[in-house]
Amino acid sequence: MSAIPAATVGRLVTYLRVLTELEQEGVRSASSDDLGAATRVSAFQVRKDLAYFGRFGTRGAGYTVATLRRELRRILGLTRPWHVAIVGMGRLGQALADYPAFDRQEFRLVAAFDVDPAVIGRRIGAVQVESLASLAEVAAERAIDLAFLTVPAAAAQGAVDALAAAGVRGILNFAPVVVTAPENVRVEAVDLSAGLQRLTYYVQAEPATVGEVTG
């Protein structure tokens, strides 16, 4: 009932990965126990997560790998190609242009933008870098669905506004700032520096295992 927990969506992604591996290895079926072991999640949790979306298993036998994989791909929206743009062609943006997912069918890099005249015009990966000023025009023309946002923190909010105005539906934000977007634009953060700082917290807090209050 009601909405799906965000944590569930995150786990679906990892189940799908495992199923893809299993399929490649020729494994035909897997139990919630198997999936749980591979993803470090309890078998209860696996079943509950899947139950939000329907009944995919066979009692007594588990899940058919190919079927469940297909269902998860459908649930996660991976059955149609997504047009992706990279905004900000610094080091990180350039590295992302070679992201292996762009070789497969689901994600297609269709544009790259920057404000720096020294970068604009250069061909990187499959695309040529264009001026951010042409975003609206290009977004309409090539039906950009999603964007990788790899601009400096100070420029992130402005870029989000421009992307939202251009009709982009989802943004993967690599900039270390909290940005605000309209209701109809989804932002997911991939935050390296936050991860790094969480890491130092836990590492220095050891050996108390889970982060003792230092008082």
Partner DNA sequence: TATTGTGAACCGGTTCACAGCG
Partner DNA sequence: CGCTGTGAACCGGTTCACAATA
Residues that bind DNA (CB under 7 A): 3, 5-8, 31-33, 41-45, 47-48, 50-51, 55-63
Q: Which of 31, 39, 45, 157 binds a second copy (CB under 8 A)?
A: 39
Count of residues interacting with a second copy (CB under 8 A)? 69
Q: Which one, 104 or 202, has the nearer CB to DNA?
A: 202
**Which does residue 165 touch among a second copy, DNA, none (CB within 5 to 8 A, set by kind)?**
none
Shortest Cβ 45–a second copy spacing (Å): 14
Shortest Cβ 45–DNA spacing (Å): 4
Shortest Cβ 48–DNA spacing (Å): 4
Q: Which one, 53 or 66, has the nearer CB to a second copy?
A: 53
CA–CA–CA angle 107, 182, 99 (5° rounding): 20
Cβ neighbours of residue 172 closer than 8 Å, sequence gap 6 or more:
146, 147, 148, 149, 187, 188, 190
CA atoms of 2 and 55, how far apart (whole Å): 17
Site membership for a second copy, residue 196 (CB under 8 A): yes
Cβ neighbours of residue 148 closer than 8 Å, sequence gap 6 or more:
84, 85, 86, 87, 93, 96, 172, 174
Site membership for a second copy, residue 32 (CB under 8 A): no
Instruction: Read off the DSSP letter of residue 177.
Output: S
Q: Which of 140, 143, 165, 178 binds a second copy (CB under 8 A)?
A: 178
Residue 52: exposure state from Cβ atoms within 10 A (0-12, 13-18, ≥19): middle
Site membership for a second copy, residue 143 (CB under 8 A): no
Q: Which of 26, 54, 117, 182 binds a second copy (CB under 8 A)?
A: 54
Q: Which one, 98 or 116, has the nearer CB to a second copy?
A: 98
Token code pair at residue 209 = 């295992």
Q: Are 210 and 185 in contact (CB under 8 A)?
A: no
Q: Which one, 133 or 206, has the nearer CB to a second copy?
A: 206
Q: What is the dihedral of CA 72, 76, 79, 85, to 10 degrees?
A: -150
Shortest Cβ 10–DNA spacing (Å): 9
